[in-house]
Structure 1
Amino acid sequence: MQPTIREILQLSAMDAGRPQIVGGHAHLDRPVRWVHISDLTDLTDLLEGGELVLTTGLPLADGAQRTRTYLTRLAAQDVAGLVVELGTHLDAVPEQLGTLADSLSLPVVALARRTRFIEVTQQVHRLIVADQYEEVEFARTTHEVFTSLNLARASTTDIVTRAAQTLGAPLVLEDVSRHVLAFCALDTPTATLLHQWAERSRLHDTADASTTGPTWSSVPVGVGSERWGRLVLPAGTADTSRARMVLERAAQSLQLHRMIQQERDALVVQALGGLLDDLLSGRVGEETEAMARATALGLTPSSRYAPLSVRVPQRPGTDALTQGEADRRLLAAVRQAVAAAGESALASIRRAGTVSAVISCASKGPEQTLGAVSTGLRERLTGRSGTDGWAAGTAPASSSLVGAAQGLAEAEHVAEVGLTMPETDRLYRSTDVRLRGLVALLRDDHRLQAFAETELGRLLDHDARTGEDLLGLLRTHLDCSGSKTHTARLTGLSRPTLYSRLRSIEKILGVPLDSAESRTSLHTALMVVDAR
C-alpha cells in the first residue's frame, strides 16, 4: 500500500525537522502518491492529485488572503497534504492556518527546523517504489496462482477457496438468481455467512456490473450479456485495490473453467453421440471394439446393459437456439439421474426433444437401476419450468453393449408413445403401449386419420355444437369394457341418465355399444385422436 502522511512523518529525514501538525488531523492516513517540492504560489496543471507538497513557506508569506487562495487551490487539486518548513520565509505558522486546513480537510504540517527536502523525497520515494514493486509482485503471483489452478483443472470450489485464502476473507460465488454455487467461509460460521443470502445479496447489488462499498465488494462472472454469476466478498478488506484484483482474476479463472468444462462436455457428448450412431447403424458390430470405445468414454463394464430413451414434447415455433438449450438441459438431467443412481451410461441427444442412453447396470440389476433413474428424472424434470411433461421408454436389457444399443430403437418408440398416454412423467415398457404404440407409429397415415374421422367425426361435431362431452363419456364407458354399472359408478350419473346418454351416442354414431367389435373400433379411433 502507498505510504500515508502519518507514516511519512515518522521517517528519519522528516523527524529531524521536528514536525508539528497544524491542521487536518483527521486526514493523516491519506495515502501519498508522490512528493513535490515547490515554492510556487500557483501549482495548477503541475499536480495530478495525491502529492505531498513540500515548501519553505514562500507561498504563505504574502498575507492571509493569498494563503487562503494557495491552500484552496491545493485542496481543489486533491493534494494529499502540505509540509511547511519554518525559518527561511516564515518564522511562525500564520494565524488561522490550522482552522483553514481543517475546513479544507487538508493536512498541514510545520517543520520547526530546517530540513533536507531531498532526503525526505528520497526516503518517501523509496517507500512508494517498494510499494509499487510489491503490487506488481502481488499481481504476478495472483496471476500465476489462478493460471495454475486452471491448468490443473481445479474445480469451482477450489478456485473460490484459493481466492478467499488469498484475501483472508470469506467469499461467495452466486448465480444470477442469487443461489450460492460455491463458497469459502474460512473462520466464519457457514450459517452466519449464508444466512438469508439472497435477500442480503440483493440489498448490496447495483445497476452496474460491479460494486464496491464499505463492507461489500463484488465482480461479475461472465462476459457481457453472458454474465452467469457474481463473486462476492461480504466483508471488506483494508486494501480494496488488492481485493478488486483478486476478485477480477478469480472471476476470469471461473469463466475460463466454465468455458473449458463446456468445451469438454461438448466433445464428450459428440463422442458419445458418434458411438451410439455407430452402434445403431451397425458400423460397430463387434463387442470388443464397442467396449473399448465405451470404456474410454467412461462407461463401467457390466454383465447387463439397459437401453433408455427420454422424450419431452416439442413446442411449435421453437427456434433452434432455444431448442438446443432445452436438449442440453434434458441431456444433463439424464446424466445426473444416472449418476445419482450410482451407474454410468453412454448418453446422447438423438434428435430434438429426445435423449437416448445405454446404462451400465454394474452395481444393481436392470430393473432396480431403471427404477432409480426414473425417480431421478422425476425429481429433475417433473414440474420444472420449460418442461411440459416427459416420458421414458426402455427395452429388454442385454448382456452385451451392442445388444442393448440395438434395443434403443424400441426404447425410443416406447418413449414417443408414452407422451400420448394418459399418464406421463414415468417409465414405459413395450408391454405398456401395445396397440397405442402401433397407432403412434401410424398416426400420420391419412388412412388411419380417415378411419378415426369416420368412427368419431359425428360425435366430435355434436360436442362442438352443443358443448356436451359425450366423447368423454364414451371414453369412460370403453375403459370400463362396456360395463354400464361400472360406468355409472365412475361418472356418478344415475342409471336412467346414463342409459339415455349412451343411446344418444349410439344414435349419433350409428353403431351399437354392446358389440365388442364396435367398442374395439371406437377405442382404436380414440387412440388415434389422442395421438394427433
Structure 2
Amino acid sequence: MQPSIREVLQLSAMAAGRPHLVGGREHLDRPVRWVHISDLTDLTDLLEGGELVLTTGLPLTEGAWQAEAYLTMLAAQDVAGLVVELGARLGTVPEHLATLADSLALPLVALTDRIRFVEVTQQVHRLIVADQYEEVEFARTTHEVFTSLNIARASTTDIVTRAAQTLGAPLVLEDVSRHVLAYCALHTPTADLLRQWAERSRLHDSASTPAHGSAWSAVPVGVGSERWGRLVLPARTPHASRARMVLERAAQSLQLHRMIQQERDALVVQALGGLLDDLLSGRIGEEPEAMARAAALGLTPNNQYAPLSVRVPRRPNTDALTQGEVDRRLLNAVRQAVAATGETAIASIRREGTVSAVISCASKGADHVLDAVCTGLRDRLTGRSGTDGWAAGTAPSSSSLIGAAQGLAEAEHVADVGLTMPKPNRLYRSTDVRLRGLVALLRDDHRVQRFAETELGRLLDHDTRTGDNLLALLRTHLDCSGSKTHTARLAGLSRPTLYSRLRFIERILGVSLDSVESRTSLHTALMVIDAR
C-alpha cells in the first residue's frame, strides 16, 4: 500500500524540519504515489497525479494572486499535497492560503527548519518500491496458490476456503438467484454470515456501493452470458486491489472446475444412459456382465436393486433449451438425492421430463431407500420452476440388476400416472394408481376421449356458459361414494341446497347419481379428463 501524507510527515527526514499543517487537515490519509521537487510556478502537464510536491517557497513569493493560482494549479493536477520549506525566500505561509487549501482539499504543510529534500525523496521512494515489491510478491503467491488448486482439481468448497484464507476474510459463492452454493466463514459465526443472505446480497449488489456503512466486493463467476454465480467478499477491505485480484483468480478457478465437472458429468451421463439402454433392450443378458459394467461406472453391488422413475409435468410453450435445462436439473436432483442416502445408482435422462434410475440398496431395504430419496427430491424439486408438481414411480425391487432394470417400464408408467394424481411431489407404487393407471395408458385413444366427452360434455358446456362449478361438486360427490351427508359436509352446503344441485346435475347429464354404475362411469370419465 502506498504511504499516506500522514506517514510521510513521520519519516525521519521530514520530521527533522519540524513540519506543521497549514491547511487540508481532512486529507492527510491521501496516498503518495511519488515525490516531486520543484520551484516552478506552473507544473501543468509535468505531473500525473498523486505526487507530493516539495518546494522552497519561491512560487508563493510573487504576490497573493500568483500564490493562489499556484495552489489552484496543483489541485487541478490532482497532487497529493504540497510541502513548503520556510526560510530565506518565504518566512511564513500567508493565512489566506490556509483557507484556500481547505477549500481545494489540498494538504499544505510548512517546514520550520531546512531539510535535505533528497533524503525525503529517498525514504518515500523506498517505501513505494517496497510496497510495489510486496504487491508483486502477493500476486506471485496468489498465482501459485490457485494454479496448485487447478492442478489438484480442487472442489468448489476448497477454492472458496483457500481464497478466504488468502484474504483473511469470509467469502460466499452464490448463484444467480442468490442461493449460497459454498462459503467459508473463517472467524465469523456462520449464522451471522448467512443471516438473510439473499436480502443483504441485493443491498450490496455493487462492489462500489456502500450500504449500512460497509462496502462489499464481488466478481461474477462464468463466461460472458453464461455467468452462473458471484463470489462475494461481504466486508470492507483495506486492500481493494488485492481483494479484487484474489476474487478474480478464485472465480477463474471456480469456472475451470465447473467446466471440467460438466465435461466429466456429460461423459458419465452418456455412459450411464448407454448402460440403461443396453439393459432395457436385452443387449446385456448376463448378470455378471451387467454388474461389471455398472460397477465400473460407480454402482456398489448389493443384495437388492430398486427401479425408480421421476417425471415432471409438461409445460406449454417450453422451448428445447429450457426443457434441456429442466431435464439436467432433474437428473442432478435425482443423483444428489441418491448420494445423500449413501447409496449409488445408475441414472439417466430417458426422455423429455423423465429421469430413470436403478438404485443399489443396502441392508435397510428398498422401501426405506426410495422414501429417503423422495424426501431429498422434495427439497430439491418442489416449489422450483420447471420441476414443481413432479411424481416418482417405482416397481418391485429385484435381487438382480437386470431384473430391476426391466422394472423401469412399470416405474415410468406409474410415474406418468402419478402426474395426474391429486397429490403431486411424492412416490407412487402400482398399488396407488390402479384404474387411473389404465386410464393413463389409454388417454390418447380417441374412443376413450369420446367416452369422457359423452359422459361429462354437457356438464362442462353448462359450466363454461354459466360460470358455475358443478363439475367440482360432482367430483366431491363421487369421491364420497355417493354419500349426500359427506358431500354436504365437504362442500359446505345445506342438505336442501345439495339435493337441489344434485338433481340439477342429474337433469343435465340424464343419469341417476344413485346408480353405482353411473357413478363408476362418471368417475372414470373424470380420470380421463384429469389425464389429458
Q: TM-score, normalised by structure 1?
A: 0.85
CA distance in 1, matches of 2:276, 2:56: 86
For the 8 Å contact 1:86–1:114, the answer to whether it is kept is yes
Q: Which amino acid aligns with 1:289?
A: E
Deviation, 1:69, is 1.1
SS of residue matched to 2:483: helix
1:287-341 C-alpha deviation (Å, 9 max, x unpaired)? 3333233223322211110101111210121111221222222223322332333
Distance 2:427 2:329 in 1: 19
Q: Tell me if 1:205 matches 2:201.
A: no
Q: Measured at CA, do residues 182 and 510 of structure 1 come closer, stay the same or move farther in structure 2, by a change above 3 Å?
A: closer
Inter-partner Cα distance in structure 2 for 1:500 and 1:6: 89
For residues 462 and 124 of structure 1, the distance between their equivalents in structure 2, rounded to whole angstroms, comes to: 91
| Alpha-carbon separation, structure 1, partners of 2:472 and 2:81 | 89
SS at match of 2:378: helix
Output the CA distance in 2 between the equivalents of 1:474 and 1:115. Answer: 102
* Secondary structure, aligned partner of 2:78: coil
What does residue 95 of structure 1 align with? 94
Query: Which residue does the alignment assign to 2:324?
Result: 324
Report what 2:289 is aligned to.
289
Separation in 1 of the partners of 2:461 and 2:61?
106
Aligned to 1:313, the other structure's residue is in SS state: coil
Given residue 7 of structure 1, which amino acid in structure 2 is its aligned partner? E
- Would you say the 8 A contact 2:305–2:397 is kept in 1? yes
**1:487 pairs with 473, 483, 500, which one?**
483
Q: How does 1:307-456 map to 2 (within 5 A)?
A: 307-454=307-454, 456=456
Q: 1:277 to 1:501 in 2, by over 3 A?
A: same
Query: What is the aligned partner in structure 1 of residue 277 from structure 2?
Result: 277
1:33 maps to 33
Task: Give me the whole-angstrom Cα distance separating, in 1, the residues matched to 2:94 and 2:22.
Answer: 10
Match of 2:147 in 1: 147
Deviation at 1:387, TM superposition (A): 4.0
Aligned counterpart, 2:219: 220
1:243 aligns with 243
Q: Distance in 1 between matches of 2:526 and 2:244?
A: 66
Between the aligned partners of 2:12 and 2:376, the Cα distance in structure 1 is 72
Aligned letter for 1:92?
G
TM-score, normalized by length of structure 2?
Answer: 0.85
Between the aligned partners of 2:77 and 2:508, the Cα distance in structure 1 is 98
Quickly say closer, same or farther: Cα 1:528–1:34, change in 2 above 3 A.
same
Cα gap change, 1:430 to 1:234, in 2 (>3 Å): closer
Counterpart of 2:487, as a letter, is: T
8 Å CA contact 2:307–2:397 kept in 1: the answer is yes
Q: Taking structure 1 as reference, are residues 420 and 16 closer, same or farther at Cα in structure 2, changes over 3 Å only?
A: closer
Task: Give the match for residue 491 of structure 2.
Answer: none
Question: Structure 2 counterpart of 1:221, which letter?
Answer: P
Tell me how far 1:385 sits from its aligned partner: 4.2
Which deviations, in whole Å up to 9, do the C-alpha atoms of 1:315-372 show, x marking residues without a partner?
A: 1211112212222222233223323333221122211111111111124211222222
Q: How far, CA to CA, are the matches of 1:330 and 1:123 in structure 2?
A: 64
Tell me how far apart the structure 2 counterparts of residues 179 and 458 of structure 1 sit (CA, whole Å).
49
Map residues 43-82 of structure 1 onto 2, 5 A cutoff: 43-82=43-82
Q: Which residue of 2 aligns with 1:104?
A: 104
CA distance, structure 1, for counterparts of residue 49 and residue 271 of structure 2: 59
Q: Please tell me the root mean square deviation across aligned C-alpha atoms, in Å.
A: 3.5
CA distance in 2, matches of 1:467, 1:3: 78
- Separation in structure 2 between the aligned mates of residue 81 and residue 159 of structure 1, nearest angstrom: 42
Structure 1 pair 94–357 and aligned structure 2 pair: CA distance change class (3 A): same
Please tell me whether the aligned partners of residues 9 and 19 of structure 1 are also in contact (alpha carbons under 8 angstroms).
Answer: yes
Residues 372-401 of structure 1: CA distance to partner in whole angstroms, max 9, x if unpaired?
223333344344444452222111211121
Q: Does the 8 A contact of 1:330 with 1:355 survive in 2?
A: yes
The CA distance in 1 between the partners of 2:521 and 2:9, in whole Å, is 102
Residue 462 (structure 1) shift: 6.1
Comparing 369-378 with 522-531, greater Cα deviation is found at 522-531
- CA distance in 2 between counterparts of 1:515 and 1:94 reads 110
Find the aligned partners of 1:470 and 1:33 in 2 and give their Cα distance: 82
Q: Aligned letter for 1:75?
A: A
Q: Is 2:34–2:125's contact at 8 Å kept on the other side of the alignment?
A: yes
- Between stretches 276-285 and 491-500, larger displacement belongs to 491-500
Distance 1:21 1:489, change over 3 A: closer
Q: Does the Cα contact within 8 Å between 2:18 and 2:113 map onto a contact in 1?
A: yes
Pair 1:324–1:82, CA change in 2 (3 A) = same
Give 1:175 deviation, angstroms. Answer: 4.1
Amino acid at match of 1:57: G
Distance 2:57 2:477 in 1: 109
1:432-465 C-alpha deviation (Å, 9 max, x unpaired): 3344333322322223333444555556556666
Contact 2:217–2:236 under 8 Å retained in 1: no
The 1-side partners of 2:476 and 2:26 are apart by 86
- Secondary structure (helix, strand or coil) at the match of 2:357 reads strand
Instruction: Provide, for residues 43-63 of structure 1, a one-character-per-residue CA deviation record: whole Å limited to 9, x for no partner.
Output: 011111101122233212212
Separation in 2 of the partners of 1:479 and 1:303? 41
Structure 1 spans left out of the alignment, 5+ residues: none
Unmatched 5+ residue regions in structure 2? 489-493
Counting matched residue pairs gives 524
Q: How does 1:158-177 map to 2 (within 5 A)?
A: 158-177=158-177
Q: Percent of aligned positions with the same letter in both sequences?
A: 78
Letter matched to residue 277 of structure 1 = D
Give the letter aligned to residue 46 of structure 2: L
Change (3 A) 1:361 1:60: same
Contact 2:42-2:73 at 8 Å conserved across structures: yes
Structure 1 residues 157-208: Cα deviation after superposition (integer angstroms, max 9, x where no partner) = 33333233222233334444444443333333334444444444444334xx
CA spacing shift, 1:523–1:20, aligned 2, 3 Å: closer
The DSSP-based 3-state class of the residue aligned with 2:306 is: strand
Structure 2 letter corresponding to 1:487: S
The worse-fitting range, judged by mean Cα deviation, of 312-321 and 262-271 is: 262-271
Measured at CA, do residues 471 and 62 of structure 1 come closer, stay the same or move farther in structure 2, by a change above 3 Å?
Answer: closer
